[in-house]
């Protein structure tokens, strides 16, 4: 039997467990992007220097290599390209037009509104001038962000009209398509959720909700700094969001796929689907769900990409109370170590994954790419988890020179 070939777009470290899963399944793994030094390329079987946002170039490469599947796991810029290649080559995947809707914040908001979902008001713009001409219709606070970026890059909360122009300029710098969205800031009740889900033939088989947490003292306080499971939502709110997510997948004709899903509950009591991307999330979210539930979304996403049967994707409860800390520096500096309370480490820490070494330069936490590692912790009770959320930095410290 011919060995399956899987093409992965991008080279971030979040692809390492994907490559590991593919190799365990016996697949041949190819990676591509325009940065040869990215870490994932060291672990793939073959690398090609091709930009992942150049759809035609990636398609040409995929045809030349005669691939069996393509993924853009945790790499947002490549999701549309992957769907395009799947469409053109008849590979397993989701409808190309539906993926384009999901991946464009402007179009996604319009789609949600058209089909009666709860949705913040939103407008899309291609220039500062056009934005300012419409500014009389805005209410504050609002959020300005690129229509096509992830990892909180280019995102600004704006509380005053005089700060709008700078926010739009900042967002445009981080937009591939040079387009931004200005939308209502939904004041949330409890924590927002950012975590992964999975559908088989369009039917949600695994749904999760997290508590997405932020460091108010970070250089960018809108970049997630920790995640915990279970969420802060009620069972009724989670059930309503699950129903609406399923309705969305049916409307878009989605198939077998992993999704990174962001949701929240507004102070008005309404449930909101903020983003749905047909890819695994960054920040090791699928790995955390494997820790917490035993369900392996990563291996099944790989299997689905090459048309193999999905195995063991089912709803399972969390085994304990889990948190993932995105380790980061409070300021620019030189990494000198991670100090941790020994009792805390021995009792609760399941994994420390440091991405820097002593002497490396590190940046203040302005975006997801400034993370320097992750910390995986488990607790037996919700009280223990909440105590950690409040006073976690008493247990560990990033030391800079």
- How many other CB atoms are found less than 10 A from the CB of residue 327? 22
CA distance 217 to 325: 15
Please give the Cα distance from 255 to 351 (Å, whole number): 33
| Same domain flag for 145 and 194 | no
Residue 111 lies in a domain: no
Q: Do 243 and 312 belong to one domain?
A: yes
Contacts of residue 272, Cβ cutoff 8 Å, sequence gap at least 6: 118, 119, 120, 186, 263, 264, 265, 266
**CATH code, 155:** 3.30.1490.20
194 in a structural domain: yes
- Give domain status of residue 383, yes or no: yes
Same domain (yes/no): 19, 83: yes
- Residue 182's closest CA among 219, 137, 242, 243? 137
Is 376 within the bounds of a domain? Answer: yes
- For the record, the structure tokens of 348 come out as 């609760």
Contact predicate 257/286, CB 8 Å: no
State both tokens at 384.
Answer: 């223990």
Is 229 in the same domain as 279?
Answer: yes
Q: Tokens 């936490």, residue? A: 365
- Work out how many domains the chain is built from and give that number: 4
CA 58 to centroid of chain Cα atoms: 22
Query: What does the angle CA 70 – CA 74 – CA 80 come to, to the nearest 5 degrees?
Result: 50
Distances (CA, A) of 391 to 25, 59, 127, 134, 221: 42, 49, 43, 44, 18
191 and 297 assigned to the same domain = yes
* pLDDT, tens digit only, all 401 positions of the chain: 799 999 999 999 999 999 999 999 999 999 999 999 999 999 999 999 999 999 999 999 999 999 999 999 999 999 999 999 999 999 999 999 999 999 998 899 999 999 999 999 999 999 999 999 999 999 999 999 998 876 677 899 999 999 999 999 999 999 988 999 999 999 999 999 999 999 999 999 999 999 999 998 898 888 899 999 999 999 999 999 999 999 999 999 999 999 999 999 999 999 999 999 999 999 999 999 999 999 999 999 999 999 999 999 999 999 999 999 999 999 999 999 999 999 999 999 999 999 999 999 999 998 889 999 999 999 999 999 999 999 988 999 999 99
DSSP bridge partners of 199: 204, 257
Model's pTM, two decimal places?
0.94
My answer on whether 241 and 297 are in the same domain is yes
216 & 295 share domain:
yes
178 & 198 share domain:
no
Do residues 143 and 262 share a domain? no
Residue 40 lies in a domain: yes
323 class by beta-carbon count within 10 Å (0-12 exposed, 13-18 middle, 19+ buried) = buried
The verdict on whether omega for the bond into residue 146 sits within 30 degrees of 0, i.e. cis, is no
Q: Is residue 138 part of a domain?
A: yes
Same domain, 361 and 339: yes
Q: Are 186 and 275 in contact (CB under 8 A)?
A: no
Q: What is the CATH number of the domain that holds 336?
A: 3.30.470.20
* Enclosing domain of residue 67: 5-91
């Amino acid at each position: 039997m011919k060995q399956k070939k899987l093409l992965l777009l991008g080279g971030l470290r979040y692809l390492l467990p994907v490559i590991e899963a593919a190799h365990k399944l016996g697949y041949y793994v190819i990676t591509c992007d325009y940065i040869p030094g990215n870490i994932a390329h060291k672990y793939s079987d073959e690398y090609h220097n091709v930009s992942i946002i150049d759809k035609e170039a990636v398609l040409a490469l995929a045809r030349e290599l005669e691939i069996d599947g393509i993924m853009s796991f945790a790499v947002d810029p490549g999701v549309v390209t992957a769907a395009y290649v799947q469409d053109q080559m008849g590979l397993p995947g989701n409808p190309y037009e539906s993926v384009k809707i999901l991946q464009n914040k402007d179009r996604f908001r319009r789609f949600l509104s058209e089909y009666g979902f709860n949705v913040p008001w939103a407008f899309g713009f291609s220039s500062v001038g056009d934005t300012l001409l419409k500014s009389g219709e805005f209410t504050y606070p609002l959020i300005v962000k690129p229509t096509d970026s992830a990892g909180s890059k280019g995102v600004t909360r704006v509380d005053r009209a005089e700060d709008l122009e700078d926010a739009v300029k900042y967002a445009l710098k981080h937009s591939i398509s040079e387009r931004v969205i200005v939308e209502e800031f939904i004041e949330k009740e409890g924590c927002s959720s950012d975590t992964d889900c999975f559908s088989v033939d369009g039917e949600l088989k695994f749904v999760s909700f997290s508590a997405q947490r932020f460091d108010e003292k970070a250089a960018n306080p809108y970049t997630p700094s920790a995640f915990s499971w279970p969420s802060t939502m009620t069972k009724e709110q989670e059930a309503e969001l699950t129903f609406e997510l399923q309705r969305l997948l049916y409307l878009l004709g989605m198939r077998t796929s992993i999704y990174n899903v962001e949701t929240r509950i507004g102070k008005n009591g309404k449930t909101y689907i903020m983003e749905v991307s047909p890819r695994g999330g960054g920040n090791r979210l699928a790995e955390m769900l494997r820790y917490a539930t035993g369900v392996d979304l990563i291996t099944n996403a790989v299997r689905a990409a090459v048309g193999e049967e999905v195995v063991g994707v089912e709803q399972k409860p969390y085994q304990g109370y889990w948190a993932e800390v995105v380790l980061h520096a409070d300021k620019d500096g030189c990494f000198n170590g991670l100090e941790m309370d020994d009792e805390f480490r021995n009792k609760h820490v399941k994994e420390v994954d440091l991405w820097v070494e002593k002497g490396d330069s590190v940046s203040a936490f302005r975006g997801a790419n400034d993370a320097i590692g992750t910390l995986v912790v488990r607790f037996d009770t919700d009280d223990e988890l909440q105590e950690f959320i409040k006073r976690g930095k008493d247990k560990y410290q990033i030391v800079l020179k």
